[in-house]
Amino acid sequence: MRRRPAVSRIVIHAALFLLLAIWMIPEVYMLSIGLRTPAQAFDATLFVWPLTFDNFVTVIRDNPLTSFFLNSLIVTLSTVALVVAFSSLFAFACAVLNLRGSLTLYATLLTTLMVPLASLVLPLAILLKTFGWVNTYAGLIFPYAALGVPFAVVVLKAFMEDSPKELFEAARVDGCNAWQTYWHVALPLVRPALVFVGIWQFITTWNEFFLALIILTRDEVKTLTIVPMQYSGLYMANPGALFAVLTLIALPLILLYVVVQRAFVRGLLAGAVKG
């Protein structure tokens, strides 16, 4: 009887590792093709030997990948900053200040969560053209922020409502005005939620494809997410180079997630505490 739990633990771990191994096949396959010599590039196997880094050296030398990376970084960081700032201000007004009309505005804002981007791309494209924002960072940053704010508001508002009201009250009694209370009390209190919201916004913005495809046509402003398709044409006969590029495009966000996943999951878990 005592040994059974140990055996079942081993079986469950083995099953999870097996499923994970299957689940990782596409990721491993991507890396594996990127590390192949031209002679083996078309082999229908997951693993080959020997491996080479030549493809990576070639594609880094021949392509402006750093520039695409910086474009992605500028667009993503700006969007995250706007979303975190605007949504925390809004959530504070709803949860702490209880401004008249704020709950109606909150409900209105929430309808955005149900709007599919597919139905907005056409009007956004025309609007951004009117603004002269085609092929600019702003043309992505502001629509992304508008689409990201509602979800962030839901999370942050819930966190602020769960914070002890006494702290806000104490701040007021101590002579803080609304802005000081927001900055010195509310923001530090909901830090895990801000981190969670920021990371999720980073992931979705970094990988957004539809609007980027429509708004960015010039190489100088293109983000990483829309360049893979042009490389699939360029390197059609050279899968090794193509998959080296794909690996380099996917890698930054994967590495970032591995680094921040602890904080991300902590925020997610904290949000569910009072289920």
Partner 1 sequence: MSVTASGSVSGSSGPAARHYRRFAGPSTYLFLLPAVALFVVFIAYPIVWVLGESLFSEDRGGANTFVGLDTYLSVLADPVFWIVVRNMTVWALITIPVQMIIGGTVAYFIERHTDAWRGFFRTMFFLPVVTSVSVISLVWVQIYAPYYGIAQEYLGLFGIEMASSPIGDPSTAIYALIIVNIWQWTGFSMLMYVAGIANLPTEVLDAARVDGARGLRLAWSVIVPMLTPVTKSLLMLGIIGTLQTFPIVQLMTGGGPNHASEVFGTYVFRTSFVLGDTGRGATISVIVLLLALVLSIVQIIYLGADLSPSGRKREDA
Distance CA 251, CA 253 (A): 6
Distance CA 86, CA 83 (A): 5
Q: Is 215 in the site for partner 1 (CB under 8 A)?
A: no
Q: Between vectors from CA 127 to CA 64 and to CA 77, what angle results, nearest 5°?
A: 45
Restricting to residues 116-175, name those near partner 1 by CB under 8 A. Answer: 116-127, 142-143, 145-147, 149-151, 153-155, 158, 161, 165-166, 168-170, 172-173
Restricting to residues 73-92, name those near partner 1 by CB under 8 A. Answer: 82, 85-87, 89-90, 92
Q: Is 7 in the site for partner 1 (CB under 8 A)?
A: no
Q: Is 56 in the site for partner 1 (CB under 8 A)?
A: no
How many alpha carbons fall within 13 Å on the CB side of residue 208? 27
Instruction: Name residues whose C-beta falls within 8 Å of residue 89's C-beta, 6 or more positions apart in sequence.
Output: 182
Q: Is 241 in the site for partner 1 (CB under 8 A)?
A: no
CB of 48 to partner 1, least distance (A): 11
Question: Quick one: which of 65, 77, 214, 263 contacts partner 1 (CB under 8 A)?
Answer: 214
Restricting to residues 93-112, name those near partner 1 by CB under 8 A. Answer: 93, 95-100, 102-103, 105, 107-110, 112
Q: Which of 137, 82, 87 is nearest to 112 (CA)?
A: 87
Burial readout 185-217 (b: 16 or more C-beta within 10 A, e: otherwise): bbbebbebbbbbbbbbbbbbbbebeebbebbbe
Question: Quick one: which of 7, 39, 114, 236 contacts partner 1 (CB under 8 A)?
Answer: 114
Residue 13 or 188: the one with the smaller Cβ distance to partner 1 is 13
Q: Is 113 in the site for partner 1 (CB under 8 A)?
A: yes
